[in-house]
Chains A and B, each alone.
Chain A
Amino acid sequence: MTEYRDAPKNEKTGIHVADFNFWYGSFHALTGVTMDIAQNKITSFIGPSGCGKSTFLRCINRMNDLIEGTRTQGTMELDGNDIYGPGVDPVDLRRRVGMIFQQPNPFPKSIYDNVAFGPRLQGVTSKSDLDGIVEESLKRANLWKEVSNQLNKNGLALSGGQQQRLCIARVLAVQPDVLLMDEPCSAIDPTSVQKVEDLMYELAPEMTIIIVTHNMQQAARVSDYMAFFLQEHAGEPATLIEYGVTSEIFSSPRDQRTEDYITGRFG
């Protein structure tokens, strides 16, 4: 059906997806998604609202399992292991595939407890170990300087942008291999957006980052590869239209629909 998804050729494959389908109850939301997502690179998913990009993102760490009546079909592999294979525990999967949400969602706990949450789940109890992880993670998230002397302040008392970086620190504390970001910048102020984008550059060499964004400029700025999703007709499943190197898609989109979208003709 779609032809333009031959990227990334010279990269190591992090996530391999083949003919992937997804249903909410009886609604067929996604169909025939096939793509190889490059390891330790930044890939962006773009497309108009309702095109299934967030849904697809949430399939990668099986967050959709939490919604009643959802169903998948097809292949999705992380480092060669089937994510939906029998015996795969979504809980273990999520420890390797972290996620940042559109709305910053720190726990109503202290900054320290927020970051220590993941390590504690994994059985780290020693205070000095936890202290170390909290410090390193906050530093990596570029939040350390702002909060180092108020670690027991409630995470909700931070500003929106700080909250989002706290959420990133929280994810970094468990060192996932893949980081999913679902419109991480749409609910925070421009200065914070800059900080989050800087952070993505810094993290990319060590983890596969997939970002869903509505902001075309952001996709162009941060991502190495870009995938365009579209639901052409209401009620029909959405699918992947075009996938390739970001700069190439922007300079010479091969599908007419992609061109229409990135030049702002619809969506």
Chain B
Amino acid sequence: MAKEKKLQKPPHLEDIDPNTSGAHSRQLQLVSRSTMIKERALEALFLACACVAVLAVLLIFAFTLYKALPVLSDIGLLSFFGMDWAPSSGHYGIMALLVGSVIVTAGALVIGVPLAIGCAVYLTEIANKRLSNIVSTAVDLLAGVPSVIYGFFGLVILRPWLADLTGGLGFGALTAWLVLAIMIVPTITTLTMDALRSIPMGVREASYSMGATKWQTIYKVVLPAAKLGIVNAVVLGMGRAIGETMAVLMVVGNAPVIPENISSPISTLTSQIALDMGYSSGLHRSALFGMGVVLFIISAGLVGIVRLISRPREAKVDTAKAVKERAEKNYRAKATDYELAEDVAKAPSNLPELEKEQEHSRQRIKRLLASGAKPKVSKNATNATMLGVFRATGAVTTGVLVLIILFVLVNGLPVMSLDFIFGWPQGVNAEGGIFPTIVSSLYVTVLAMLICTPIAVLAAVYLAEYAKQGRLVNFIRYATDTLASVPSIVMGLFGFALFVEAFGFGLSMLSAALALALMMLPIVMRTTEEAIRAVPRYIRWGAYGLGATKWQVVSRVVLPSAFPRIATGIVLAIGRAVGETAVVLYTMGQAINLPITPMDSGRPMTIHLYLLANDGINMQAAYGTALLLMLMILAFNLFARYLSRKSAKKTGGK
């Protein structure tokens, strides 16, 4: 009996067959068994975190669709896409709003894209380094300025100006185009600059050394090489424009009709949702969710397009064999080029004498070169003109951006005082200070960060360290990108339906923080994953070589060295959250209140600014709020830049 008992396996070794594993290997397994279970459990946890993004996207879509079902089943899909939007008389056709969204977005792109690309080319290829550094920092920072400030600028400066110019009130597509164009320019410029900078200097040198002018180098070498990146930037800018709520809401005039001309009021999907959400009920509210579904599908579609476009570029780094096969395939597919190649291949047999002499060949090239026609306009004139055009776009873009900063600064500075920052708003005109709104903004942001960061970081750890490249990872990435592109008003709708109503959290800090956390999740995930991937492999090898487990390597080596860059991502996400309006509009409430517990409601600075500006009752406080808001976001962004610069130094980057 005693002997048998002795032979019994220790409980945690139960599933190890003593017949197959020798005493020695059992010893080895004994050491690793418990850690292996721990490792497995951790991996499962990380996978679960990574799936939060997927789950969130599916939930947003499903829940918004579910809420939209009543209107769809009641009036049918056809009348839902009808022309007539008159909720009071039971007509819920969204076509005019959809058209409004398309008009506003298209116009903003037509104005904004050339300016942004011109400005990016100017800053990376033409301007001297110091100027380029200063301006691109400013552009970077402006990409983070909350849209409500752009809307404010449009409402106060552009609208009256355009009203004088076109007659009427100045609300309408034209104003929205300008505001949105100004708003998407920093985004597209920054992304285009990234694309241009990623092109190796050697390629430009090669072009110059061939006797190309600057313009020829830009036009024939740099821009084609950066094409994919630029298209990506434009599509992302488009996503931002079509999903934009606050800036549009403040300037379009909100008339749900097909506009007669570019200066007559219109409405868009996003602005109509924001406008009606507060008082709607029944089918009307369901129709708003239906519009949310339409917006969701549009932005998910755009993300799909971006992924489709970027795929070949990502594939370029794969195996030499695949590259070869693809080249072969391309080659066969393009019949004309094939013929060309055949033509050229045939040539030597037709002209065998050419191979006789070196001198002959040289003469032939010279003769053929001489056939080149002299261009009508000299290359230098073209060069000077085009560089002038780029300088002008650079100047216009910079000028407008400076104007916005000045607008907020000049009007806001006189309002600044300790009373304003630490005082309470009083009376119907909200005179006095804005202290509770500052607290609400910071409260909800910190809460959102606490919810978002652990999930996002662990999810990124899974994607960067554990996941095998494949369908699952691809799907998670697609979901993350989609989540990042969900228009903030749709996120607000979802937050309202799920957290406020279904979970019963009410209009509260918690509801708003949860919705904001979903918005921050993809940003933090993306930057954390990049940060982890940037940790050199040999550092990991060093740790593995000492017998560390995967989790030990990740937690003690990888995450600490990636920390500064992760922090950068978190700080940037915080900046985004502080400036967010549409998400919190219907999740936090609008009552001025100093929040104590997460279940309290409040009014963040962005909404305070929106309400003050829109009612026009207390412009002083609006300017002051705008300035404070901008300074806060500036501070976050500068802090992020400082962090990333510090980490670049630490890792020996230049």
Contacts and interface: CB of A to CB of B under 8 A. Distances in A.
Interface stretch (B27-35, B282-290, B334-342, B603-611): B334-342
29 contacts: A91-B213, A91-B379, A94-B208, A94-B211, A95-B210, A96-B211, A99-B205, A107-B207, A107-B225, A108-B225, A119-B368, A121-B211, A123-B373, A131-B343, A132-B368, A133-B365, A133-B368, A136-B364, A136-B368, A137-B365, A148-B341, A148-B344, A151-B337, A154-B327, A170-B206, A175-B366, A175-B369, A205-B358, A206-B359
Given A98-B209, A101-B202, 19 more contacts: A63-B205, A94-B211, A117-B212, A119-B369, A119-B372, A122-B211, A123-B373, A131-B340, A135-B344, A136-B368, A137-B365, A150-B327, A150-B331, A152-B330, A152-B337, A152-B340, A153-B327, A172-B365, A206-B358
Contact of B209 (A61, A68, A127): A61
A189 interface: no
B365 A136 contact: yes
A153 B129 CA distance: 36
Interface string A150-170: 111110010000000001001
Interface stretch (B41-49, B162-170, B216-224): B216-224
B347 interface: yes
B375 interface: yes
B133 to A, nearest CB: 12
Contact of B210 (A121, A151, A202): A121
Interface residues of A, number: 62
A66 interface: yes
Interface of B: 128-129, 200, 202-203, 205-213, 216, 220-221, 224-225, 323-324, 327-328, 330-331, 334, 337, 340-341, 343-345, 347-348, 354-355, 358-359, 361-362, 364-366, 368-369, 371-375, 379-380
A96 B340 CA distance: 29
B343 A123 contact: no
A96 B210 CA distance: 9
A103 interface: yes
A63 B361 contact: no
A130 B344 CA distance: 10
In the complex, which of the residues B324, B347, B371 has the most CB atoms of chain A within 10 Å of its own CB atom? B371
Contacts of B365: 132-133, 136-137, 140, 172-173, 175
A124 B369 contact: yes
Contacts of B340: 112, 127, 131, 151-152
Contact of A157 (B324, B355, B364): B324
A121 B216 contact: yes
A121 B371 contact: no
Nearest to B210: A118
A135 B347 contact: yes
Given A105-B200, A129-B371, A140 B331 contact: no
B211 A107 contact: no
Interface string A78-107: 000000000001011111101101010111
Nearest to A111: B341
Given A91-B380, A129-B368, A151-B337, A117 B208 contact: no
Contacts of A135: 344, 347-348
Contacts of A109: 224
**What does DSSP make chain B's interface, helix, strand, loop or mixed?**
helix
A68 B129 contact: yes
Given A105-B205, A119-B368, A149-B345, A95 B211 contact: yes
Contacts of A202: 358
A149 B341 contact: yes
Nearest to A118: B210
Contacts of A227: none
A10 interface: no
B604 to A, nearest CB: 45
Nearest to B366: A175
A171 interface: yes
A122 to B, nearest CB: 5
A191 interface: no
A68 B403 CA distance: 30
A214 B570 CA distance: 47
A92 B211 CA distance: 6
Contact of A107 (B203, B334, B358): B203
A132 B364 contact: yes
Nearest to B338: A152
Contacts of B362: 140, 175, 206
Nearest to B345: A148
Contact of A121 (B212, B348, B366): B212
B212 A136 contact: no
A92 B212 CA distance: 9
> Which 7 A/B pairs are nearest by Cβ-Cβ distance?
A95-B211, A123-B372, A105-B202, A124-B372, A99-B209, A94-B211, A152-B337
Given A124-B368, A137-B365, A151 B341 contact: yes
A193 B359 CA distance: 24
Contacts of B373: 123, 125
A127 B343 CA distance: 11
Contacts of B331: 150, 152-153
Contact of A91 (B212, B341, B364, B374): B212
Nearest to A180: B209
A150 B341 contact: yes
B367 to A, nearest CB: 9
B312 to A, nearest CB: 11
A149 B129 CA distance: 44
Interface string A231-250: 00000000000000000000
B229 to A, nearest CB: 12
Contacts of B200: 105
Contacts of A131: 340, 343-344, 347
Most buried by B among A123, A127, A173: A123
Given A150-B327, A151-B337, A152-B334, A134 B211 contact: no
Contacts of B213: 91
Nearest to A119: B369
Contact of A174 (B206, B323, B355, B369): B369
Nearest to A140: B361
Nearest to B342: A149
Nearest to B374: A123
B202 A103 contact: yes
Contacts of B327: 150, 153-154, 157
Contacts of A167: 206
A108 B334 contact: no
Contact of B203 (A105, A130, A133): A105
A126 interface: yes
A139 interface: yes
A246 B372 CA distance: 40
Nearest to B130: A68
Nearest to B348: A135
Contacts of B225: 107-108
B372 A125 contact: yes
Nearest to B362: A206
B369 A94 contact: no
Contacts of A171: 209-210
A94 B375 contact: no
Contact of A68 (B128, B211, B364): B128
Nearest to A133: B368
Contacts of B129: 68
